[in-house]
Amino acid sequence: MTFAGAQENRSAAPANLPGNGLAQHSFVYTGEAKARKIFIIRNGKVDWEYEETTGRGEISDVVMLSNGNILVAHQFAVKLISPAKVVLWNLDAPAGTEIHTALPIGFDHVLYVQNGAVPSVNVVNIKTGTINLSFPLKANPKDVHLQFRRARLTPQGTLLVAHKDQDKVSEYNDKGEEIWSISLPEVWGAEQLANGHILISTHFGVREVTRDKQVVFSLTREDMPDYKVYNWQLCWRLPNGNTVFNNWINSWSQPDLIAKGDAAQLIEVDPQKRVVWALRSWNMPDLGPATAIQFLDKRTYPERVHFGSIK
């Protein structure tokens, strides 16, 4: 298995990248960084930009609802922002806890995972402030920051949670019962695909697994020898069958790599693992490090989900 350090003696990416740069896709873009910025890219340019300046922490998750509102989790709070950049709702993480993932259920509920001494899954009614559902998760209480990064609902109304500190992905029903799991090192995220398989991102690459845990697709650094992959976090499957993953650079410990600006922030491969698009946008516009992406090429309705009876 090749780590980033073994790749340091070559260019981070080809000088001429495949695809059409910012014009390849429309998408929401944000990343874990010192500056908490969110961008919407349409028609090859920045269509909307927002910077969260009043709070603290790093942005780990973002979802744009079909009405244009944006739900963002930035470590110490979750908030809903309107297209006019008005904060419509905010929930601060209690002292000693962190929130790195949140998703809408309809327009009235938000599900979030709270890292902490007793981590938990919670569903709050944002109109009333009532917690309608809550159950604890098992995690290492000594490392709150690294417990969880991403959770996503399935069409069946269950929840996939990436237990980063437990090296596994678990699926829960609304009673908090673990009904499926798979062990993989340093998992960041998991989501169910249209074919029922689970697409999982880890620090070491991508795995698509069946429900009986057979690997049917994988992607590692070795599959892309022309690209340095510094920190693998999350991945997405596009309607055309291609897979996109982010190449995150740590703005706290790797500012020299950001200043150099030659790394690709997003990389798209086809089912044969050929790179068909890579995005490098460190200036004009400077999108910063990439973490959470939502593709907007086709209109989506991410709030049309349910968790048990909550919808």
Look at residue 215 and tell me if it is in a domain.
yes
Range of the domain at 271: 13-295
Stretches where the chain sits below pLDDT 70 are 1-10
- Residues 73 and 93: their CA atoms lie apart, in Å, by 10
Residue 113 lies in a domain: yes
Q: What is the tens place of the pLDDT at every residue in 105-125? A: 999 999 999 999 999 999 999
pLDDT at 55: 81
Q: What is the pLDDT of residue 1?
A: 37
Look at residue 209 and tell me if it is in a domain: yes
pLDDT in tens, 121-150: 999 999 999 999 999 999 999 999 999 999
Please state the domain count of the chain: 1
Q: Tell me, what CATH number does 143's domain have?
A: 2.120.10.30
- The pLDDT, as a whole number, for residue 10 is 62
What's the CA gap between 159 and 151, in Å, rounded?
7
Look at residue 144 and tell me if it is in a domain. Answer: yes
Is residue 108 in a domain? yes
**Is residue 176, in this structure, part of any structural domain at all?**
yes
Inside any domain, residue 88? yes
250 found inside a domain: yes
